[in-house]
A and B are shown apart, each in its own frame.
Chain A
Amino acid sequence: MVGTAMTRLFAMLPFLLLAGCDGIQTPLSPAGDQASALHQLLMLMTIVCGVVYGVVLVGIGWSLWRGHNHTTAFGDTPGDDRRLSRGLWTAAAAIVIGLTVLVVGSFIADRALFATRGKNAMEVRVTGHQWWWRIEYRDSTTGRLIETANELHLPLGRTTRLTLGSADVIHSFWVPNVSGKIDMIPGRRNTLDLTPRHLGWFRGQCSEFCGAQHAHMAFDVKVESPAAFDVWLATQTRPAPPPLDAVAARGQAVFAGPCAACHVVRGTDASGRAGPDLTHLASRHSIAAGTLPMTRGGLQGWIAQPQALKPGTSMPAVSLAPADADAVAHYLETLR
């Protein structure tokens, strides 16, 4: 028994080491103000709870050892009850003090999460769909909404305010390196402030069960310098570039058939709203909500076999001639 407990104690060690590990989807390597506050709270909690667990194990060990050495039939030595009563009150006091520390720590972290509320911030709308993310930025010059999907760009050191909703069922928005999660609830609107402090790519994932493909509802987050962000946003506001070669033109023509019913490519006739906006698809890191890499192979596979790669997705398997499918993939690759 004590053996398994010791094993578990040792199992705690890698967790403490992990704190320095560099993951793209983990609260353990915070890359933003909100995640840092939560990370500190996590460390405080882990230490306090680890100490408490140690005390309990020592208590069990002591009582077994003491009981083992008892010689009287009923085991009681005079004064035990008095010592135990004192111990009970001490334990109660210790627990209350420990909890007070943790509650105060929790309040402080909670305040940190709300610290940017009321200040100006760039607003971004994120809407959950089964099983992808519609993301809308505001064009600061025209005031129009610029739509993209499954990829969030954030300027370093500035606060971005997300307005979160859902088009169908409940989802939950979670980029652990930047902040904690918040649910996206149909009929309600939630707000989440993000203040990233490290450059780089991170990964977010839906964390409220939302149906068959809950597992394949991820997205990429890029934290970039404010200058690079402005360039990116300016690119996103532009319509899609016209096809530059014959194959791409053929791809566009094929796309205008079955694909355009559900997808928007700004600057063309494709204006379906059911699926993600593909105007700058090729500039993204991945496709199908983090399911496949944004490569020629990924596109071809997704066009040919969406139901095999992500069973249940709303994207139907469209039967295209191989040459047509290749042309569409080539065309999509030009949408930078």
Chain B
Amino acid sequence: MTRDQDRLDRLDATWRDAPGLWGFLTTVDHKRIAARYIVTALLLMFLAGMLALDMRLQLSVPENTRMSPQLFNESFSLHGSTMLFLVSVPAMEAMAFWLVPLMLGARNMAFPRLGAFSYWLYLGGVLTLWIAHAMDITPDLGWFEYPPLSGPSYSPGHRADIWAQMITFTEVAALAASVNVAATILKMRPPGMTLARMPVFLWAMLIASIMTILSMPSIMLVTSMLIADRLVSTHFFSPAGGGDVLLFQHLFWFFGHPEVYIIFIPATGFISSIVETFSKRPIFGHSALVMSLMSIGALAFGLWVHHMFAVGLPQLGNGFYTAASMAIAVPAGLQIFCWIGTMWAGRPWLATPMLWVLGFVATFVVGGLSGVMTASAALDLQLTDTYFVVAHLHYVLIGGGIFPLFGAFCYWYPKATGRLMSERWGQIAFALIVGGFNLGFFPMHLLGLMGMPRRVYTYPAGMGWETLNQVATAGSAIAVLGGLVFVANALISYWRGAPSGPDPWGGSTLEWASASPAPSWNVAYTPVVDSLTPMWNDGRPLRAMDGIAIERREVLVTSVTDATPLYRQLSASPSIWPLIASLAVAAMFLGSIFTPWAVAIGAVPIGAALIGWFWPTRPRASTGPLRARS
């Protein structure tokens, strides 16, 4: 691409944020928003890790009185809720926010202000949970809060309400983010990037977003019903009043199971990108991978009941959900085959991101196989709610979600910062985290099979659980140490790392075409794509087109299947209204913990904020016709 300085200056004048605090509060730059998401999620991951370490210390000896049962129950509730709702899912959304426009060669997301709104609302959920924790109204009933334990009779006070409203915050934020990501991928692809030429990463983000849109309403419904039971004495979940406690579990897991794949599917996108670049070969089985993702996405909605095998189901249900749950192993296994096959046919280069891929396969496959074991309705009766499941879920979520995220972090770090992370410290962090994790969590399989239930704050001596618990504690301490090395490496490299240039790895997809760190306008010209690996066109330069305005924020909208250019769209400019709107929404959510009137009264400021947000100020586009750039 031409480096026409005048053009770049004008683009910069159009797209840059206001300086200082005002710019911070009003920005709609997808990269800045994504960076906030990532920093917040990493901070929370650290806090949740500290909680985990605290619990591991408590469990390292039997009959320990170090933590009271109340404190322990708060710790695992906070750990689980934070990791599931505030770290894993938002971190995946953040990666989508950051990379989707870059990988599309687009200048911003489809709905820039909605992106800002997502983050502010997510931050509201974070603050709701953790400020409540600081005020000692920590939720203490797990990350699932089954009634009647969470109902008004057994949980007076506001701990359960805090949990339920934290969910409402994060799920509204996740819905907004997913709509944004899906619209961006479907309507803002560069010319030539037909659906068949869409990298697996974009497919993964698209499918995860659609899954979020379909599953999140279920959890918002169920937590709202719980709040109604607690606040206005409805009886959805009170058996004495004709309610049914199992209704909660069905609705919770109708969200809860897809949630696991909403975390895992973006991770498969990271893995596919890394494997392709570091095998120096187009990924094998692109259509097999995409179809696997689609079938995982579809199957995920048909097997939530496997979280409820112990509730006493009819036998027919057992059989159906056993078969459906095991069927997931087919697409998941084929994906693993495609990644290993790509390495087999390529020339794998074991840089840190690739090490994380190997760590992911070796760890996640254990979680997948223990998942096949728990998928059996019969065997699950011996495994569910034991430490076997604790081991399983961490192998799946850490091995299948967080390891790929770390790999992705190392892989795209140069793109975000313009600097390389230290390879040596990256390897040390990798060894500590993967080694410590396996040392910490593998023994939990055995503990579960030796009869240790989950969510116990202590256990009697003489059950034979002591040694393995101590090994688990040692392993998690090593993993936490590795995590600190990882973060230190990222921080130090931010100032001291070697300059990376735009494309240090020889990457295959479009994000490597823009400068590192990517400027606020992302790309000087809209790229034109004719293959799955547009950066690897046998040395031919990337083709590009012109015709998108540079004096105003304008983006190109293309058709859904063939990505033919349709029209130019003005992209929303920075605005304070998303922040104001999310404050209004936050006030309504928090107020409704205390009084049902908050819903009615709180709607007024929300309406006012939305009117301000959508006040029509934008003129119609008046640039010349679209043309190919010679």
Residues of B within 8 A of A311 (CB): 68-70
Q: Pick the residue among B334, B359, B442, B458 that contacts A91 (CB under 8 A).
A: B334
Flag whether B211 is at the interface (Cβ < 8 A).
Answer: no
Asked if A8 and B446 sit within 8 Å, CB to CB, the answer is no
Flag whether B173 is at the interface (Cβ < 8 A).
Answer: no
Flag whether A64 is at the interface (Cβ < 8 A).
Answer: yes
Binary per-residue interface labels of chain B (281-303) against chain A in the complex, 1 for a CB within 8 Å, 0 otherwise:
10011001000000000000000
Asked if B438 and A8 sit within 8 Å, CB to CB, the answer is yes
Residue of A whose beta carbon sits closest to that of B463: A25
Complex Cα spacing A274 to B92, Å? 49
Q: Which of A175-183, A222-230, A231-239 lies at the interface?
A: A175-183
Asked if B279 and A27 sit within 8 Å, CB to CB, the answer is no
Binary per-residue interface labels of chain A (189-220) against chain B in the complex, 1 for a CB within 8 Å, 0 otherwise:
01100000000000101111111111100000
Flag whether B210 is at the interface (Cβ < 8 A).
Answer: no
Least distance between B623 CB and chain A CB atoms (Å): 41
Complex Cα spacing A28 to B362, Å? 26
Complex Cα spacing A80 to B384, Å? 43
Asked if A88 and B337 sit within 8 Å, CB to CB, the answer is yes
Asked if A52 and B369 sit within 8 Å, CB to CB, the answer is yes
Residues of A within 8 A of B372 (CB): 45, 49, 99, 102
Asked if A67 and B344 sit within 8 Å, CB to CB, the answer is yes
Asked if A107 and B319 sit within 8 Å, CB to CB, the answer is yes
Asked if A88 and B334 sit within 8 Å, CB to CB, the answer is yes
Least distance between A73 CB and chain B CB atoms (Å): 8
Complex Cα spacing A39 to B310, Å? 17
- Beyond A4-B438, A183-B311, whether A95 also contacts B379 by CB under 8 A is no
Residues of B within 8 A of A317 (CB): none
Flag whether B466 is at the interface (Cβ < 8 A).
Answer: no
Most buried by A among B376, B457, B458: B376
Flag whether B154 is at the interface (Cβ < 8 A).
Answer: yes
Q: Which of A10-18, A137-145, A318-326 lies at the interface?
A: A10-18
Flag whether B177 is at the interface (Cβ < 8 A).
Answer: no
Residue of B whose beta carbon sits closest to that of A215: B456
Least distance between A80 CB and chain B CB atoms (Å): 4
Flag whether B323 is at the interface (Cβ < 8 A).
Answer: yes
Q: Which of A109-117, A244-252, A261-269, A277-285 lies at the interface?
A: A109-117
Complex Cα spacing A27 to B343, Å? 40
Least distance between A31 CB and chain B CB atoms (Å): 13
Complex Cα spacing A107 to B318, Å? 9
Residues of B within 8 A of A187 (CB): 239-240, 243-245
Residues of A within 8 A of B333 (CB): 91-92, 95
Asked if A42 and B382 sit within 8 Å, CB to CB, the answer is yes
Asked if B318 and A110 sit within 8 Å, CB to CB, the answer is yes
Asked if A23 and B438 sit within 8 Å, CB to CB, the answer is no
Flag whether A314 is at the interface (Cβ < 8 A).
Answer: no
- Beyond A26-B450, A75-B281, whether A181 also contacts B457 by CB under 8 A is no
Least distance between A121 CB and chain B CB atoms (Å): 17
- Beyond A27-B451, A207-B453, A208-B385, whether A109 also contacts B69 by CB under 8 A is no
Complex Cα spacing A152 to B264, Å? 43
Residues of B within 8 A of A80 (CB): 344-345
In chain A, positions 32-86 with a C-beta closer than 8 Å to chain B are 35, 37-38, 41-42, 45-46, 49, 52-53, 56-57, 59-60, 62-64, 66-68, 70, 72-77, 80-81, 84-85
In chain B, positions 118-137 with a C-beta closer than 8 Å to chain A are none
Q: Pick the residue among A35, A56, A91, A205 that contacts B453 (CB under 8 A).
A: A205
Flag whether A240 is at the interface (Cβ < 8 A).
Answer: no
Complex Cα spacing A26 to B369, Å? 21
Q: Which of B216-224, B324-332, B588-596 lies at the interface?
A: B324-332
Residues of B within 8 A of A290 (CB): 460
Complex Cα spacing A236 to B288, Å? 65
Flag whether B459 is at the interface (Cβ < 8 A).
Answer: yes
Least distance between B61 CB and chain A CB atoms (Å): 14
Least distance between A91 CB and chain B CB atoms (Å): 5
Residues of A within 8 A of B439 (CB): 7
- Beyond A26-B450, A169-B148, A170-B146, whether A114 also contacts B315 by CB under 8 A is yes
- Beyond A70-B347, A106-B379, A181-B382, whether A188 also contacts B281 by CB under 8 A is no
Complex Cα spacing A243 to B69, Å? 38
Complex Cα spacing A87 to B69, Å? 52
Most buried by A among B348, B446, B451: B451
Least distance between A66 CB and chain B CB atoms (Å): 6
Asked if B451 and A180 sit within 8 Å, CB to CB, the answer is no
Flag whether A253 is at the interface (Cβ < 8 A).
Answer: no
Residues of A within 8 A of B149 (CB): 169-170, 209-211
Residue of B whose beta carbon sits closest to that of A286: B460
Least distance between A164 CB and chain B CB atoms (Å): 8
Flag whether B28 is at the interface (Cβ < 8 A).
Answer: no
Binary per-residue interface labels of chain A (150-181) against chain B in the complex, 1 for a CB within 8 Å, 0 otherwise:
00000000000000000011101010100111
Residues of A within 8 A of B288 (CB): 88
Flag whether B322 is at the interface (Cβ < 8 A).
Answer: yes
- Beyond A18-B446, A64-B343, A84-B285, whether A106 also contacts B378 by CB under 8 A is yes
Asked if B337 and A215 sit within 8 Å, CB to CB, the answer is no
In chain B, positions 270-288 with a C-beta closer than 8 Å to chain A are 279-281, 284-285, 288
Residues of A within 8 A of B362 (CB): 1, 4-5, 8, 56-57, 60
Residue of A whose beta carbon sits closest to that of B73: A212
- Beyond A28-B449, A170-B149, whether A186 also contacts B343 by CB under 8 A is no
Flag whether A256 is at the interface (Cβ < 8 A).
Answer: no
Flag whether A103 is at the interface (Cβ < 8 A).
Answer: yes
Q: Pick the residue among A53, A106, A206 that contacts B366 (CB under 8 A).
A: A53
Q: Pick the residue among B141, B376, B386, B434 that contacts A102 (CB under 8 A).
A: B376
Complex Cα spacing A329 to B8, Å? 87
Least distance between B334 CB and chain A CB atoms (Å): 6
Complex Cα spacing A155 to B367, Å? 39
Residues of A within 8 A of B361 (CB): 56, 60
Q: Pick the residue among B327, B355, B376, B451 that contacts A176 (CB under 8 A).
A: B451
Residue of A whose beta carbon sits closest to that of B462: A24
Asked if A8 and B442 sit within 8 Å, CB to CB, the answer is yes
Least distance between B219 CB and chain A CB atoms (Å): 19
Flag whether A185 is at the interface (Cβ < 8 A).
Answer: yes
Asked if B69 and A53 sit within 8 Å, CB to CB, the answer is no
Residues of A within 8 A of B454 (CB): 207, 209
Q: Pick the residue among A37, A74, A106 that contacts B347 (CB under 8 A).
A: A74
Residues of A within 8 A of B378 (CB): 37-38, 41, 106, 109-110, 112-113, 180
Top 7 A-B residue pairs of the complex, sorted by shortest distance between their CB atoms: A180-B381, A187-B239, A63-B344, A75-B347, A215-B456, A25-B451, A106-B376
Known: A1-B359, A110-B315, A176-B382. 6 other contacts (CB 8 A): A4-B434, A67-B346, A81-B284, A183-B311, A190-B312, A207-B386
18 contacts between A and B (CB under 8 A): A7-B438, A11-B442, A21-B450, A26-B451, A45-B376, A49-B372, A53-B369, A59-B344, A66-B344, A67-B343, A70-B347, A75-B281, A76-B281, A169-B146, A188-B312, A209-B149, A211-B73, A215-B458
By a beta-carbon cutoff of 8 Å, the part of chain A in contact with chain B is 1, 4-5, 7-8, 11, 14-15, 18, 21, 23, 25-28, 35, 37-38, 41-42, 45-46, 49, 52-53, 56-57, 59-60, 62-64, 66-68, 70, 72-77, 80-81, 84-85, 87-88, 91-92, 95-96, 99, 102-103, 105-107, 109-110, 112-114, 130, 168-170, 172, 174, 176, 179-183, 185-188, 190-191, 203, 205-215, 290, 311-312
